[in-house]
Amino acid sequence: MNQWAFVIAAYAVTLAGTAIVSVVSWRAMRGAEKRADQVSDRT
């Protein structure tokens, strides 16, 4: 294997990790917004 296989693998891992963190953060934000709306509706 030449070095390019490792470079491509590193980019793939980085992009996949970034995508996973983005999706998890977005879902957490949506949940927090729902809870905040519920709290604001109580008053």
Tens of pLDDT, residues 1-43: 689 999 999 999 999 999 999 999 999 999 999 999 988 877 5
With H, G, I as helix, E, B as strand and everything else as coil, classify residue 30: helix
pLDDT for res 1 = 65
pLDDT for res 8 = 96
Average pLDDT, the chain: 93
End-to-end Cα, the chain, rounded Å: 64
pTM confidence score? 0.74
